[in-house]
Amino acid sequence: MEWAIKGQSELLHMNSSVVKHNFSLEIFVHSKNVGNIALRIGEKIKLEQIEKQKLYEAALLHDIGKSKIPQSILYKEGKLSSEEWEIMKKHAVYSEELFLSMVYKSKQNIEIGEIVRYHHENWDGSGYPENKAGEAIPLNSRIIRIADIFDAITRPRVYRPFKIKNTMKLMENMKGREIDPYIFDRSYNLLKDLLEDTYSKNTKSWRESKEIE
């Protein structure tokens, strides 16, 4: 697709800048996963092509602001203190700022920046950085929120060195709180299929996965 080629060429330019900001391989892989999942969700809810372009680029870059978070916080194995959590939450705004510092500030890029900025807002208004709620959150940010959560809980993390087995149940409990219930319902079968596909690979990390409340 033309937009994908354009997006990729722009991202290649960005990647050289991001490397200078100590953007880790782990976050890069996570962002690629989120981009691919978000794009699949966007196709499921029949986003227009231009919106899918903005969605994909925002998803690929949603965590670049973590390059400005101290590694002692970013890779802490235990629970973050309240002060550390406040620092961590700044990454959403940092991601927008870093993205806009690397691109021409066109209307579309400003919109992509906003999608990035609000990817941690929750449907019920309990998210950050601005406690936006419901449809006040950009649609593409709501899609990335679902894709981000899905990838995060189906991959081992520094603070949780195992995958979570009861992924779909946990996400169902997030409907109407962290995530948009309509988008989740429309993408439920897609996410379930993606999960079953990873189960089928029977990797060591899935054999060691756990259920959590």
Active site residues: 66
* Surface-to-core class of residue 42, CB atoms within 10 Å of its CB (0-12 exposed, 13-18 middle, 19+ buried): buried
Alpha helices for 45-163 (secondary structure H): 49-60, 71-74, 82-89, 91-102, 107-117, 139-153
> Are the C-beta atoms of residues 124 and 165 closer than 8 Å to each other?
no
Angstrom distance (rounded) from CA 34 to CA 28? 10
